[in-house]
Amino acid sequence: MFQLDTISLYIHIPWCLKKCGYCDFYSYVSKEKIPEEQYIEHLLKDFEKDLHLIHHKNIKTIFIGGGTPSLLKSSSIKKLINGIKKRAVISKNTEISIEANPTTIESKRFLNYQMAGINRFSLGIQTFNEAGLKKIERTYNKKEAIQSIKILKQVNNNINIDLMYGLPNQSLEEALLDLQCAIQWNPNHISWYQFTLEPNTIFYSKKIITPHEDLIFKMFTQGDKLLKKSGYKKYEISSYAKFNKQCKHNLNYWHYGDYIGLGCGAHGKITQKNGKIIRTLKNKNINCFLNGNYLHSINMVSKKDKIFEYFMNVFRLYEPVFKQHFTKKTNIEITKIEKDIQIAIKKGFLIDYLDYWKTTKQGKLFLNSLLKIFL
C-alpha cells in the first residue's frame, strides 16, 4: 500500500491515429506532423509548475497514457523521463508504464523505450476478432495485434493486454476466444473490462446495440473463471495479474493515493499538509498548452465528495478496507459515516469487522447501488 510520502505521475499524450467511436478520453487526431519535441518541453515546464504541490514526495510510479503515447520517438520518451529525474526524486523500483497501440510497435523503438526507463507496457488490443475490430473502429487486424505481442515479449515480459467484452453483436464464444488468445501469450497482466457506451461519444449518439445484460453477465462470469484457472488473480473489478504483477500505478488510484497529472486534459489529486485535498485539471486545448497555459482549474474537494471518492476507488479492489486507512486518506472520522456503513451492511453489501470492512459478493455485483449510499 502506498505511503503518504510517495506520489504517482500521470502524463497524457493526446495524439491518436484515429478517434475510436467508443472513446471518451481526450485525444487529438493530427493530420500534420506531431510537435512532440515542443510538447515534451512543455510537459517538463508543466511539471516544474506543479513541483510545489509534491512537497518533496518520492515519485513511486509513472504512467504515460493517451491518446497513443507509442507514436512518440524513443528520443522523446528518453528526454521526458530524464527531465523528470532531474526535477524530482524517483524511487529505484519505480514502475514506469506506457500505453501502446499495435500499429505503432516496432522492435527497435520499444527496445529504446526500455533503455530510456520504461519497464511496463500496456497493449490496447481490445479484441482479436477481425469483425469485432472493424465494429469498434480499431486501426489494425488480428495478425498485427498478435505480431505486436510477439515484439513486446522480446523486449519485456512485463506486459498488460487490454481486452473488452460485451462488444456489439459479440457472442459468448467470441469473448472467451479473445481471452484464450491473450492467455496463450502468458502476459503478466490482463485487463478484462466491459464495453460501455459513454455519453459524448460517437457510438453513444448512434445508439450502438450491445449484447443483452444476461449474455454480458455470462461473459463476465465465465471469463473470470477462465482467467483464474489460467493462473491470474483478480485484484480489482477488471484487473487480473500473475503473482506480484499488479499495476502499481492503478493501485495508487484505487487506494485513493495522490498523483500529479501532466499534459492536455490530465487530472491530478494532491493531499495538502493540512489534510485537505485539491484536484487539478490541465488545459485541453493543445494550442493553449503549447503556449504555456497549462492549468485549467484547481478545486478543493469537499468532505462529502472525499467520502464518495474514497469508496468509489477502494471498493473496486478485492481486499479489506481498513478503517485506519479511511481516516488517514480522508482526514475524516469514522463517526461521520457510521449511518451509511450500517445501511450498506443491512443491504448485504458490506461486512463490518473490528479493524476493516469487506465488500460481499453482492456488494461487488451491485457496486453502483453500494456507492449510491455514500453519495
18-36 pLDDT, tens per residue?
656 556 565 656 656 789 9
Hey, what amino acid is at 144?
Answer: E
Rounded Cα gap, residues 48 and 267, in angstroms: 16
Rounded Cα gap, residues 49 and 363, in angstroms: 41
Q: What values do phi and psi take at 292, rounded to 5?
A: 95, 5
If asked whether residues 229 and 367 sit together in one domain, one would say: no
Mean pLDDT value of segment 330-341: 95
Hey, what amino acid is at 224?
Answer: D
Report yes or no on 267 lying in a domain: no
Report yes or no on 81 lying in a domain: yes
Q: How many CA atoms lie within 13 A of 23 on its CB side?
A: 20
Rounded Cα gap, residues 223 and 227, in angstroms: 6
If asked whether residues 335 and 244 sit together in one domain, one would say: no
For 51, residues 6+ apart whose C-beta sits below 8 A from its C-beta are: 87, 88
Report yes or no on 350 lying in a domain: yes
Helix (H) or strand (E) holding 339: helix 338-346
Mean pLDDT value of segment 46-68: 91
Rounded Cα gap, residues 48 and 60, in angstroms: 18
Q: How confident is the model at residue 4 (pLDDT cuts 50, 70, 90)?
A: low
Range of lowest pLDDT (53-57, 103-107, 194-198, 282-286) = 103-107
Reference 263, options 49, 29, 19; nearest CA is 49
Q: Scan for cell 486507512, then name that residue.
A: 325
Report yes or no on 298 lying in a domain: no
If asked whether residues 230 and 360 sit together in one domain, one would say: no
If asked whether residues 327 and 247 sit together in one domain, one would say: no
Mean pLDDT value of segment 113-133: 93
pLDDT digits (tens, 9 = 90+) for 162-191: 999 999 999 999 999 999 999 999 999 999
What pLDDT score was predicted for residue 50?
Answer: 94
Report yes or no on 301 lying in a domain: no
Mean pLDDT value of segment 239-264: 97
The CB density around residue 131, as the number of other CB atoms within 10 Å, is 12
Q: What is the grid cell recorded at 150?
A: 510477439
Please state the domain count of the chain: 2
What pLDDT score was predicted for residue 26?
Answer: 58
- Asked whether the predicted pLDDT for residue 227 surpasses 60, the reply is yes
What pLDDT score was predicted for residue 273?
Answer: 84
What pLDDT score was predicted for residue 2?
Answer: 41
Q: What is the grid cell recorded at 60?
A: 513511486
What pLDDT score was predicted for residue 34?
Answer: 84
Domain CATH number, residue 104: 3.20.20.70
Q: Are 331 and 204 in contact (CB under 8 A)?
A: no
- % of the chain residues with pLDDT over 70: 93
Helix intervals (H) in 186-321 = 202-206, 213-229, 248-254, 286-290, 303-314
Last residue of a domain, one of 215, 237, 253: 253
pTM above 0.95, yes or no: no
Last residue of a domain, one of 233, 253, 273: 253
Report yes or no on 312 lying in a domain: no
What pLDDT score was predicted for residue 298?
Answer: 95
The CB density around residue 185, as the number of other CB atoms within 10 Å, is 16
Could you please report the per-residue DSSP string of 26-39? --EE-SS---HHHH
Last residue of a domain, one of 253, 277, 308: 253
- Asked whether the predicted pLDDT for residue 262 surpasses 90, the reply is yes
Q: How confident is the model at residue 248 (pLDDT cuts 50, 70, 90)?
A: very high
- Asked whether the predicted pLDDT for residue 196 surpasses 90, the reply is no
Q: Are 163 and 211 in contact (CB under 8 A)?
A: no
What pLDDT score was predicted for residue 275?
Answer: 86
- % of the chain residues with pLDDT over 90: 75
For 117, residues 6+ apart whose C-beta sits below 8 A from its C-beta are: 78, 81, 96
Rounded Cα gap, residues 80 and 58, in angstroms: 17
Helix (H) or strand (E) holding 234: strand 233-236
What pLDDT score was predicted for residue 1?
Answer: 45
Q: Which range of residues forms the domain containing residue 371?
A: 321-375
Report yes or no on 287 lying in a domain: no
Report yes or no on 260 lying in a domain: no
